[in-house]
Amino acid sequence: LPYSDGEDIDRTFWNYELKVEPKALPAGDIVISKQVTGTAGDTNQKFNFVVEFKTTDASLAVPYEISNGTKGTIKTGDKIQLKSGEVATITMIPCGSDYKVTEVEANKNGYKTTAEGTSGRIVRKTPAKVKFVNSKDKPPKHTDDKSGGTPTGDTLPIVYMIIAAASVCVIGIILFVTRRRKKK
C-alpha cells in the first residue's frame, strides 16, 4: 500500500513485505477397512496390506492413522496391519495418482477373501474406499451310530442294497411261478 511520512512533500512510496509459499497440491485419501466373519474366523488376527500409489515422487511419504490410534507415514509399497473392525485412513495422496491395495493373506489358512475398491485413481474430496472381508467357517460335525444321529458309516447303504436285490428276486420268482401256473 502507498506510504507517506505525513509531511507536505509528496513522498509516497510502496512499503510492503511479501511472503511467498507454495500452493498445496490437491490431495485425496484412501480408507481401508477389514472385517473377519464366520464361525472359525479369528477377529484378533492381524492381516497385512500392501499399499501402492503411483506419484511423480517415488519417495513421497504420506500420513496414515488406524482406528486403534496408531499413526505414522507410509510410502508406496509399504505395509499396514489391520485386524477385524479396524480402519486405516491414508491422507495427502496427490490427486490423479493410481492406487492399489493388496491383502497378503488373502484366501489363505482356510479364509475366503472378498474385496471391493482395491484399485483406482485418487480424486479430491472423495476418499477411495477399500473393503476386505475374510470369512472362515468350521466344517460341519459328523455323527455316528453311538450318538443316536444319522449313521455315517458305509454299512447301512449296503444293507439297503441287499434288501432291494432280494425283494426284486422274490417278486421275480412270484411272477414266474404265477405265469407258469396260468399256462398249465
| pLDDT tens figures, 80-136 | 999 999 999 999 999 999 999 999 999 999 999 999 999 999 998 899 999 999 999
Question: For residue 57, what pLDDT band results from cuts at 50, 70 and 90?
Answer: confident
Per-residue confidence (pLDDT) for residue 52, from 0 to 100:
96
In this structure, the dihedral spanned by the alpha carbons of residues 177, 178, 182 and 184, taken in order and rounded to 10 degrees, is: 20
* Mean pLDDT of the 17-34 span: 84
Please count the other Cβ atoms lying within 10 Å of the Cβ belonging to residue 99. Answer: 22
Ramachandran class of 85: left when φ > 0, alpha when ψ lies in -120 to 50, beta otherwise: left
Cα–Cα nearest to 84, from 41, 31, 127, 50: 41
Going by their DSSP bridges, the two strands 62-66 and 13-14 should be labelled as: unpaired
Cα–Cα distances in angstroms (integers) from residue 121 to residues 42, 96, 139, 153, in the given order = 32, 6, 40, 57
Asked whether 110 and 11 are in contact (CB, 8 A), the reply is: no
Going by their DSSP bridges, the two strands 98-103 and 119-121 should be labelled as: antiparallel
Please count the other Cβ atoms lying within 10 Å of the Cβ belonging to residue 88. Answer: 23
Question: For residue 165, what pLDDT band results from cuts at 50, 70 and 90?
Answer: confident
Question: For residue 169, what pLDDT band results from cuts at 50, 70 and 90?
Answer: confident
Q: Amino acid identity, residue 52?
A: E
Question: For residue 182, what pLDDT band results from cuts at 50, 70 and 90?
Answer: confident
* Mean pLDDT of the 16-38 span: 85
The yes-or-no verdict on residue 13 having pLDDT over 60 is no
